Amino acid sequence: MPISPNFTSIFTKKWEINFTQCMPNSYLKYTDLCNILQLTAAEHSEIGGISFSDMQEFNQAWVLSRMRVEILEMPKWKDIITVKTWINNLENSRSVRALEMYVNDKKIIGCETFWVVFNTKIRRPEALALPYEHFELYPEQIATQETFSKINLNNKTEILFERTVVLSDIDIVNHVNNVKYLEWCLDFVEDELILNQKIESFEMNFLKELSIKDKVIIHKNFTDDALIFSITKEDNNCFALQINL
């Protein structure tokens, strides 16, 4: 679709937290937090003319490569939240996008995301085929206290679970949806850590895509102040998650 007349390089969107998005303690699920952030980014891309539909004319899509989320507090049921987003960097096949979440003008969450333009036919990164010069970039306007880090997967891990990817795990790009990886791992975090909001930040690295019927193994390596998960296929790392407490 053409660039919207309402397009701005800094975009804001209001959401109301509904009960289907909440945990038993009435606070937003971490998976739904990520969904809201990514849906806001998607809407900004849509009004800016570089949405999934626009890119599919060239067999392209944005795929998430890294995501860091820093949490001051989680929103809860019936909260009206505002998500603000802008692009730090956009060049060729790569983009860094910042997001912030507010309740009553108070910032409660900061997020940094790294996206790659992905050809959905040949399953490889490539340069964005659409014009994007109308997006003003804000490289100095950072949403998080820390930037991406490399998650250490060299330490010995324990196997937690083996599973086969099923249809409900697959998204419109025909691979496992990025929030599914987080959901799989959070199922192995102690309930109290989640319900008592002990998670200060988490970071995800998406290393290789997974497809339907792939057989994967979920591993863990817990330290005193962090929980590290990895997901492998045939001994190759496909995903890494670090949860900081």
Give the Cα separation of 245 and 240 in Å (integer). 17
Q: Which residue ranges form the domains of the chain, and what is each CATH number?
A: 1-145 (3.10.129.10), 149-245 (3.10.129.10)
Q: Which residues of 29-62 are buried (b: 16+ CB within 10 A; e: fewer)?
A: bbbbbbbbbbebbeebbbbbbbbeebbeeeebbb
pLDDT per residue of the chain (245 residues) written in tens, 0 to 9: 689 999 999 999 999 999 999 999 999 999 999 999 999 999 999 999 999 999 999 999 999 999 999 999 999 999 999 999 999 999 989 999 999 999 999 999 999 999 999 999 999 999 999 999 999 999 999 999 999 888 888 777 889 999 999 999 999 999 999 999 999 999 999 999 999 999 999 999 999 999 999 999 999 988 778 899 999 999 899 999 999 99
Q: Residue 30's Cα: distance from chain center in Å? A: 10
pTM for the whole structure:
0.94
For residue 230, give the 3-state DSSP assignment: strand
